[in-house]
Amino acid sequence: MKCPECIKEGKKSTISIGSSITTAMPIHRFYDEDGKYHEHDPNTHSTQYRCSNGHEWVDGKNPKCWCEIGKENAIRD
């Protein structure tokens, strides 16, 4: 991982990982009628970062089940 601001500025830096937060919504896990495993996770995972040049940012991720990849608003059961 590299600092996005340092990349723009042509600088090098080290990155410190700060706190991580995950929401606590229930995950819907199941096998469909074809026996394929699904894990529909509505949670958001966020991590704070700070580079040695003082830039700070948060990276958020929303895990997607294989059946939801590429779908903007996937329907959940």
What pLDDT, on a 0 to 100 scale, did the predictor assign at position 63?
83
Instruction: Give the tens place of pLDDT for each residue, 12-70.
Output: 999 999 999 999 999 999 999 999 999 999 999 999 999 999 999 999 988 889 998 65
What pLDDT, on a 0 to 100 scale, did the predictor assign at position 27?
92
Helix intervals (H) in 1-77: 4-9
What pLDDT, on a 0 to 100 scale, did the predictor assign at position 31?
96
Tokens 């958001």 sit at which residue?
Answer: 44
Contacts of 70 (CB under 8 A, 6+ apart): none
What pLDDT, on a 0 to 100 scale, did the predictor assign at position 51?
98
pLDDT band, very low/low/confident/very high, at 74 (cuts 50, 70, 90)? very low
SS3 assignment, position 58: strand
